[in-house]
């Protein structure tokens, strides 16, 4: 069965979790009125099903290829991408002054969810362009914005993010790519970046590479990094793509999944003629990059939602057809996997849309919402991608042996999503960010405000209240703990907190679905919403209590063996 965009569910979560109507009450987002939201949610769902979903398999089997120094996308991708641009789907949240529609990012997230549910590898391309737009909007000069944003806002040109080098992965500060002054205000870039998603392709007339590099005499580590814009084709006097810049893909990585996403080794300045321009101030690269990454991290969390949804849909269709001692959908253990998959997908969606809603409120000047979004970003990135991995594994298991055979597509979903816990800051790095910058950084203020809201709204959910009490106590311990002890418990604490926040949003949906059902009578969607949210609250929320021991065990047990004895 091919992917069906979950439009009713998306609309429900937009209304009751993200609070889209409240956002539309602000003049800046007035265009996001109800009919427009319906048109976007329904329209992108149909587009994704018609244009992106049919390319899912060919993207995997043919994949992107490097031919004569240029990446060739699999058949059909360039046409589908053109249709995406022509239909204006790239413009939703892009700035109005550069051809965008200026709508809430939350709505752009719904669009990305449907595109990625249909074809995760393909949707990574627009996801990266969003990051490039963000960096230019916040850090670009007026000229840079006027030159590049009109092309990026429509998706006519795409963006890429260039951080990683062989010796600089999580430790971005170890990067060695250099930028030297060209004497005319431009910079000459030299170095090799690895793992660059959509670092090259043949779908658009230009690509805007955002590159982190080190200027002469820059201080070591992250303090000495600056951000540069390097177009694949330099612009001529009219601002159109002209001569090829000195940047080229020298290899494509052979990957476990997302074969349609070209993961490039990019070489800059082989002929000492790679020309770029600085974005933002000298040595301001990390700040600018974080602007890109924060939004991108929420979008990668969204990939977990996409995969969990697509995998569970596929598993449900298979389970209804497959007969083994009766339809397998009736076996309790298969039921467990299907219910769990649905509950995880819905919880991750609620958490992610909620965070996007806070991001939009923050952009309207609501500082508490901005702080909440910052707190939630590592939770969304790590928990939603873990959910994606778990739900695709469950989906594969429901298929039995056929899940392990490529024809069903269950294996592809499982292979594709696995990267999401790794790129855009590994989930381990997210956990460190959560307990460090986000919790200890403000002494727990943002978390305490969130906990107060959860307690005020969901007092009658006993298991959830018990989990919230535990999260509060362990967070307090973590803030006061020694650095190693804090980091040792960071991942389990992140997961507990993410489940508590998701549980809160599931409890709200449960309450609303119950009330609406009482009003409207029989409705399959509301009945399913009630049952699935209840399952999350009654089964998955209590399960997270089991992480409490690991969350505050400290580092002692982890270092009981030294580095050598660990392998003995």
Asked whether 496 and 474 are in contact (CB, 8 A), the reply is yes
Strand-strand pairing, 225-231 and 207-214? antiparallel
Q: Is 173 helix (H, G, I), strand (E, B) or coil?
A: helix
Asked whether 177 and 225 are in contact (CB, 8 A), the reply is no
113 carries an active-site annotation? no
Asked whether 3 and 313 are in contact (CB, 8 A), the reply is yes
- For CA atoms 433, 92, 414, 292, the dihedral sign is negative
Contacts with ligand FAD, residue ranges (CB under 6 A): 161-164, 169-170, 195-197, 255, 263, 419, 422-423, 426, 428-429, 432
> Toward ligand FAD, which CB reaches closer, 237 or 567?
567
Let me know how long the chain is. Answer: 568
Buried b (16+ CB within 10 A) or exposed e, 447-479: beebbeebeeebeebebbbebbebbbebbebbb
> Which letter does DSSP use for residue 14 in this model?
I
Q: For residue 223, how many other CB atoms are within 10 A of its CB?
A: 11
Q: How far is the CB of 516 from ligand FAD (least distance, A)?
A: 42
Q: How far is the CB of 65 from ligand FAD (least distance, A)?
A: 16
Tokens coding 53: 């979903």
Asked whether 144 and 136 are in contact (CB, 8 A), the reply is yes
Q: How far is the CB of 192 from ligand FAD (least distance, A)?
A: 12
Q: How far is the CB of 357 from ligand FAD (least distance, A)?
A: 27
Place of tokens 């000492």: 272
Count Cβ atoms within 10 A of the Cβ of residue 202 and give its class: 0-12 exposed, 13-18 middle, 19 or more buried: middle
Helix boundaries (H) for 521-560: 524-535, 541-544, 548-551
Q: How far is the CB of 162 from ligand FAD (least distance, A)?
A: 5
Q: How far is the CB of 198 from ligand FAD (least distance, A)?
A: 7
> Toward ligand FAD, which CB reaches closer, 459 or 484?
484
> Toward ligand FAD, which CB reaches closer, 2 or 426?
426
Q: How far is the CB of 210 from ligand FAD (least distance, A)?
A: 9
> Toward ligand FAD, which CB reaches closer, 29 or 198?
198
- State the Cα–Cα distance between residues 178 and 218, nearest whole angstrom: 10
> Toward ligand FAD, which CB reaches closer, 342 or 415?
415
Tokens coding 525: 């969607």
Residue nearest to ligand FAD as judged by C-beta position: 169
> Toward ligand FAD, which CB reaches closer, 195 or 318?
195
Tokens coding 128: 């990266």
- State the Cα–Cα distance between residues 126 and 90, nearest whole angstrom: 7
Q: Which of 165, 309, 390, 424 is catalytic?
A: 424
> Toward ligand FAD, which CB reaches closer, 235 or 558?
558
- Find all residues with CB under 8 Å of 376, minimum gap 6, and list them: 351, 354, 355, 358, 501
Residues serving a catalytic function are 424
């Amino acid at each position: 069965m091919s992917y069906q965009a979950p439009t009713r569910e998306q609309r429900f979560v937009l209304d009751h979790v993200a609070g889209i109507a409240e956002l539309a009450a602000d003049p800046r987002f007035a265009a996001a009125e109800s009919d427009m939201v319906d048109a976007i949610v329904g329209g992108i769902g149909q587009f994704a099903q018609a244009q992106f979903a049919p390319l899912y398999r060919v993207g995997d089997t043919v994949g992107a290829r490097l031919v004569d120094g240029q990446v060739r996308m699999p058949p059909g991708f360039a046409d589908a991408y053109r249709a995406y641009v022509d239909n204006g789907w790239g413009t939703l949240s892009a700035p109005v002054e550069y051809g965008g529609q200026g709508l809430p990012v939350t709505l752009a997230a719904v669009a990305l969810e449907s595109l990625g549910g249909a074809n995760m590898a393909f949707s990574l391309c627009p996801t990266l362009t969003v990051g490039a737009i963000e960096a230019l909007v916040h850090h670009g000069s007026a000229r840079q914005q006027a030159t590049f944003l009109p092309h990026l806002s429509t998706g006519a040109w795409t963006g890429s993010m260039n951080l990683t080098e062989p010796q600089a992965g999580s430790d971005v500060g170890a990067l060695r790519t250099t930028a030297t002054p060209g004497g005319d205000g431009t910079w000459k870039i030299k170095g090799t970046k690895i793992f660059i998603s959509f670092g090259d392709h043949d779908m658009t007339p230009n690509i805007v590479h955002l590159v982190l590099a080190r200027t002469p005499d820059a201080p070591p580590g992250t303090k000495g990094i600056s951000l540069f814009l390097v177009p694949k084709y330099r612009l001529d006097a009219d601002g159109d793509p002209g001569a090829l810049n000195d940047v080229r893909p020298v290899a494509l990585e052979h990957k476990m999944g997302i074969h349609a996403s070209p993961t490039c080794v990019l070489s800059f300045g082989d002929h000492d003629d790679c020309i770029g321009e600085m974005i933002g101030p000298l040595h301001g690269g990390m700040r600018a990059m974080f602007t890109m990454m924060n939004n991108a991290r929420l979008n990668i969390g969204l990939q977990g939602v996409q995969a969990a949804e697509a995998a569970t849909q596929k598993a449900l269709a298979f389970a209804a057809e497959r007969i083994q001692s009766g339809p397998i959908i009736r076996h309790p253990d298969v039921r467990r996997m299907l219910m769990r998959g649905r509950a995880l997908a819905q919880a991750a969606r609620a958490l992610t849309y909620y965070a996007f809603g806070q991001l939009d409120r923050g952009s309207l000047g609501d500082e508490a919402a901005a702080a909440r979004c910052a707190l939630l970003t590592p939770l969304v990135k790590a928990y939603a991608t873990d959910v994606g991995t778990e739900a695709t594994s469950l989906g594969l298991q429901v298929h039995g042996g056929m899940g392990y055979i490529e024809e069903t597509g269950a294996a592809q979903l499982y292979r594709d999503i696995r990267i999401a816990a790794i790129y855009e800051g590994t989930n381990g790095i997210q956990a460190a960010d959560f307990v460090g910058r986000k919790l200890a950084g403000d002494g727990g203020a943002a978390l305490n405000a969130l906990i107060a809201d959860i307690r005020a709204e969901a007092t009658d959910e006993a298991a959830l209240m018990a989990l919230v009490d535990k999260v509060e106590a362990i967070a307090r311990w973590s803030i006061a703990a020694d650095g190693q002890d804090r980091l040792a418990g960071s991942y389990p604490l992140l997961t507990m907190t993410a489940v508590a926040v998701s549980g809160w949003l599931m409890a709200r949906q449960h309450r609303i679905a119950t009330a609406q059902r009482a009003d409207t009578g029989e409705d399959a969607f509301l009945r399913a919403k009630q049952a699935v949210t209840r399952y999350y609250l009654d089964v998955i929320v209590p399960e997270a209590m089991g992480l409490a021991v690991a969350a505050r065990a400290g580092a002692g047990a982890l270092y009981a063996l030294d580095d050598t004895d660990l392998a003995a």
